[in-house]
Amino acid sequence: MPWKLYLDGRKRQPGGTDTDFAIQLPYPINVSGKAFLDVILCPNSFYLVRAGDSDRLYVAETQSNVKRVAFLIPGQYDAHTLATACQNALNQNKGIPGTYVCQYLSALHRMRISITGSTTNNDTMQLWPDDSVAAAMASWTSVSNFAGAVATDLKTATRAMGFMSSGGVLTCSHTQDLTGPHAVNVQLYSQLFIRSNLGGGSSESLGVNGESDICRRIVVGNTPINSMIYDVHSQAHDHVQINGKREFSSLWFQVIDVNGKVVDTHGLPISFSIIFEDVDEI
């Protein structure tokens, strides 16, 4: 007969976090058949700009193309406040005589960077998208604050700002503004995934990065920032097939993004229920 287990991240074992935790069961259970993760409650308290994850812009300034890394302050942003954060990051330790101005153009849904206050030939800036940095890593490895970045994870804010481009570096000067080639995206996640030891790495489920232990997708959709993501199980075939008959005394879970990184809800717990199709209590 069906058996239900209700879980809340606040009841995790010591050492875990709200989105990366283990639950100790009050007694072991033997389960077989199917398991469904039913209603998921997850706070949309995520930061658009995250320290050491999505807080960097790679720029080269003046006619000598002197490279540096600009850092945005971590936090939640809308398009207008993101433009201000970009402006502040570019003007912090700037290498040009002029001043950077960054604006969100609501009619175009684009970000625009310009240089004002000076008209010298050294008022030039290159914004390096991820693909361009990855293709020229050797020229960046000696740049201050670049340490730790790798070609597959450059920790940039360029996607949110609409500056991702495969067409090479993007340029700006006192005579030429830089408008982002893509739309601004201040919704950090559209979907998340829950990993668990529940399925035992069965081959029935394959994550976007090749994970074999994904047991549920969370649809973020258009949930407003700082509201509760309420995702109800609705697919008859969206279940975890238990391999044989297994005994569990504890379960672990991770909530990850499309890049396989554990997300941070900043102290707010997730909760959900599991429906087991067949279980023997010990």
124-134 pLDDT per residue, tens: 999 999 999 99
202 lies in the same domain as 170: no
pTM of the entire structure?
0.90
Inside any domain, residue 134: yes
Inside any domain, residue 205: yes
Inside any domain, residue 184: no
pLDDT at 281: 54
Q: Residue 154: pLDDT above 90?
A: yes
Domain boundary among 118, 152, 179: 179
Inside any domain, residue 207: yes
174 lies in the same domain as 75: yes
Inside any domain, residue 162: yes
Per-residue confidence band for 280, with pLDDT thresholds at 50, 70 and 90? low
Q: CA 217 → CA 71, 126, 147, distances in Å?
A: 32, 38, 34
Inside any domain, residue 73: yes
Predicted confidence (pLDDT) per residue in 171-219, tens digit: 999 999 999 999 999 999 999 999 999 876 566 778 888 888 898 999 9
The H or E element spanning position 81 is helix 79-91
Q: Residue 160: pLDDT above 70?
A: yes
Q: How many domains does the chain have?
A: 2
- Quick one: average pLDDT of 73-88? 98
75 lies in the same domain as 169: yes
Inside any domain, residue 161: yes
pLDDT at 171: 96
What tokens does 39 get? 């209603």
66 lies in the same domain as 161: yes
Domain boundary among 179, 208, 234: 179
pLDDT at 234: 73
pLDDT at 277: 82
Residue in 184, 155, 181, 185 with CA at minimum distance from that of residue 168: 181
67 lies in the same domain as 161: yes
Alpha helices in 123-273 (DSSP H): 130-135, 158-161
Per-residue confidence band for 257, with pLDDT thresholds at 50, 70 and 90? very high
200 lies in the same domain as 133: no
108 lies in the same domain as 142: yes
Per-residue confidence band for 147, with pLDDT thresholds at 50, 70 and 90? confident
pLDDT at 210: 85
Rank 1-5, 25-29, 200-204 by mean pLDDT and report only the highest: 25-29
The H or E element spanning position 114 is strand 110-116
Give the domain range for residue 166: 56-179
62 lies in the same domain as 160: yes
pLDDT at 202: 61
Encode burial over 186-199: b for 16+ CB neighbours within 10 A, e otherwise. bebbeebbbbbebb
Across the chain, mean pLDDT equals: 92
28 lies in the same domain as 95: no
What tokens does 200 get? 């035992």
35 lies in the same domain as 124: no
The CATH number assigned to the domain holding 11 equals 2.60.120.1100
- If one compares 238 and 136, the residue with the highest pLDDT of the two is 136
- Quick one: average pLDDT of 93-122? 97
pLDDT at 200: 64
Per-residue confidence band for 34, with pLDDT thresholds at 50, 70 and 90? confident
pLDDT at 279: 61
Dihedral over Cα of 101, 104, 108, 109: its sign? positive
Inside any domain, residue 143: yes
**Strand runs (DSSP E) across 174-262, as ranges?**
178-179, 191-196, 214-219, 228-231, 240-241, 246-256
Domain boundary among 157, 179, 201: 179
90 lies in the same domain as 167: yes
Going edge to edge, which strands form the sheet with 110-116? 99-105, 110-116, 178-179
